[in-house]
Structure 1
Amino acid sequence: MATRSSNGTERPTQLPDYVVADLLAHDRRRRALEILRERDDPVIVADLAAAVLAAERDQSPASVDQEAVEELRRELYEEHIPRLTATGIVAYDSLKGTVELQRPDLLSVAD
């Protein structure tokens, strides 16, 4: 999401504080955003799910149970990614199955 300033340059649209707070209120969504912030490239959703679970369980992503990864991948697809793409915080590439952070500036609210 972006708007054009008076000089024609794009600038991010400001989201209301209550929207940002709501998006960051869910632990898994916040953790997923933090992981995306640490990476410069788009992340495959299944890899993001494994990273979120690994962080929750203090494990390596490779040691996380694949059934749990699939469950969280589905949760990300159905619940979190749609909310984050609708607000422009992330971009989802359905052809590649990747997600990428677009608005790291909004994560400073959680810091």
Structure 2
Amino acid sequence: MSGKTRNEEQAAMDGDRAGVDAAIDALGHRHRRQLLDHLADQDDAIDLTEAAHTLAASDRLSVEDLRFDLYHLHLPKLEGLGLVEFDEGSKEIRYRPDVRVEALLETIDEWW
């Protein structure tokens, strides 16, 4: 026996499911996947403008539009999951590895 009550076990399972749902939601947008892939290949943090240029290389949106989307949409979602750390002052983005998310990214990459 685990020593947990049935309600505690259910709450833990619900929390795990919520985490999976949040990760799948975060990886549901190609810009977030591309950013995480790029950050995973870096030895250090990158700045917001560099991130926008990286995404612009494979997109029809302008660097300015991508910078706006990163700042207002994508980075808050990724930061909320603990996948990136964004420094408002320096505008630097640092990757925070997560083996579960990396496994999801690999699975998504295999599909496409």
TM over 0.5: yes
Question: Quick check: which one's helix share is greater?
Answer: 2
Q: CA-to-partner distance for each residue in 1:54-111, whole Å, 9 max, x for gaps?
A: 1x15xxxxxxx9x811110010000001111111110001111110111242222120
Residues paired across the two proteins, number: 89
The letter for the 2-side match of 1:107 is E
Q: Tell me the residue number matched to 1:70.
A: 64
Q: Which runs of 4+ in 1 moved over 6 A?
A: none
Structure-1 separation of matches of 2:98 and 2:41: 10
Q: Give the superposed CA RMSD.
A: 2.0
TM-score norm. by structure 2 comes to: 0.72
- Normalising by structure 1, we get a TM-score of 0.72
Q: Whose radius of gyration is greater, 1 or 2?
A: 2
Give the number of the structure whose residues are more often strand, by fraction. Answer: 1
Match of 2:29 in 1: 26
Unaligned runs of 5+ in 2: 1-15, 107-112
Structure 2 counterpart of 1:108, from 83, 86, 103:
103
1:49 aligns with 2:52: yes
What letter is aligned with 2:70? L
Which runs of 5 or more residues in structure 1 are unaligned?
A: 1-13, 58-64
AA matched with 1:21? I
